[in-house]
A and B are shown apart, each in its own frame.
Chain A
Amino acid sequence: MIMKYLQIKTIPSIALKSLMAFSIAFLSGCETDESQTVATFTNLVLDENFDTEGAPNGELWSFDIGTGIDGWGNQELQYYTDRPENVQVQNGVLLITAREESFEGSAYTSARLITKDKFERRYGRFEARIRLPFGQGIWPAFWMLGADIDENPWPGAGEIDIMEYRGQEPSVLVGSIHGPGYNGGDAISKEFTLENDRFDTGFHIFGIEWGPDFINFYVDDVLYNQLTPEDVDEETDGEGLWVFDKPFFILMNVAVGGTFVGPPNTETQFPQTMIVDYVRVYEN
């Protein structure tokens, strides 16, 4: 590919249409020549600014508690709780804090917030303004799962990782999709490196523009990837299924250890906090 990313000013604006034309041109490496339909998302349907101190708004957020099966499928080391030590709204931001402490048989605690059964949507612009933690073995994420996951287990339900990040690579963001035929270590992913800056020293906006047959990944004013059913076909030799035409819910968490990052080491400083300024969803 000639250019790794495109610089734009405002994703949702009218500029998006012309931008999409650009991106099609530059993403010719994907070998999709057909014209694509592009949605613009301007109707704000979720505006979570974390303005109420204390526990996060229960009408929007639930919690995953415990260690799941096999450390949430990734051999993660933390025990998720809903205690204020691990999750709290303070001064207009959400704090998700990973701690090193012995708790219910785990060596670390943290929190995972989900909007399952409370906020589930198909398509739209999903974004959050976040300052990330850092250090070996720290694994924060802002991501989505198919809302039918109870009937249609992972990877069938589908997963969109708007932001994943390894604490030991503080300038590198990873955006991915998982589905049948492309999941876990074989997910379709792209890394984005923030030049001369890092994600743990200031807030950055992580988002996707998701419509029928495409998901655009962006950070701040940079669109760094577009994934389409054609990409899935190409990456999986036609075996993979595009599963992103149904409602998804939002997750936010800070994991410790696990297959994606490896365990913390003696230099990893605890506690580590992911600070979320807002979560916003726009639709057509």
Chain B
Amino acid sequence: MRNFELGEKDPLKCLIRESGPESPKAGFHMNILNKLSTQACAKPYEPVISSFAMKIIGGLLVAFFISVLVFVPSSESNLSFWNQLPQFTFLKLNLPIPDLPIPRIELGPIFNFSIAIFSLMAFSFALLSTRKWRYQ
């Protein structure tokens, strides 16, 4: 066991050192760097429009389609499907409710239209902000 404690005088050490290290093929380090760059780029597929957003869009389209079928008449002389439905009369409940003086707000069509537009813009802004944060 003392052979490997000979230090520089060890003939086997001299021979092994003399033979030196062996070289890999040229471009060895570039292969590794290329592998690393492809690994960094290989992210799982994520659609631009998420499945949740697609569901909302689909729901809006279906709602629009149904509303057109139900509320829009086929021609000017016809009634819409909604208007063709028989009139239901709900039973009036005669409950002894005290007559409270609740104030009523008279909302005009311009105000209602503004509220609708504001809600639509707020919804769009919220949706876009959520998507922006997710990709940051």
Real complex partners, A and B? no
